[in-house]
Amino acid sequence: MSPKRQNADRVVVETLLDFEGLATVLYTNIGANIPHPTATGLAQLAISSARALGDGSDGISYLDNAMKAGIETPLTGAYAAEILRLSGGRDLGDAVARIRGEVGE
């Protein structure tokens, strides 16, 4: 079997043994598909996805759900703030609605 190499098109399943009181933990190791992410760049991509997708799988809804689950990255705050600035939304849910034209400006 060849070594597992990470890239943007491959998901590698890794194993941790005796981690945080668990005998075995399986997790995914996914390569970066955005080489040098910035808050503005991520916000623009998320807004584009919110325009295109109406099923909750857009970048803004993903970010909103991640934040509600307590998941935070170094760019989370600036990324969310940029979405609100660009969309005029009061919160991320409102931003999605505004982008989709579901509320009055």
Confidence label for 1 from pLDDT (cuts 50, 70 and 90)? very low
Instruction: Specify the range with the lowest mean pLDDT, choosing from 8-12, 22-26, 41-45.
Output: 8-12
23, 51: one domain = no
90, 56: one domain = yes
**pLDDT tens for each residue of 34-63:** 889 999 999 999 999 999 998 989 999 999
Write down the pTM of the prediction: 0.76
Give the pLDDT score at 73: 94
51, 29: one domain = no
Rounded distance between C-alpha atoms, residue 51 and residue 58, angstroms: 8
16, 67: one domain = no
Region 85-94: mean pLDDT is: 97
Is 105 contained in some domain? no
- Per the CB < 8 A criterion, the answer to whether 23 and 17 are in contact is yes
How many structural domains does the chain have? 2
What would the two tokens of residue 6 be? 């990470």
18, 69: one domain = no
17, 49: one domain = no
Q: What range does the domain containing 79 cover?
A: 39-99
26, 59: one domain = no
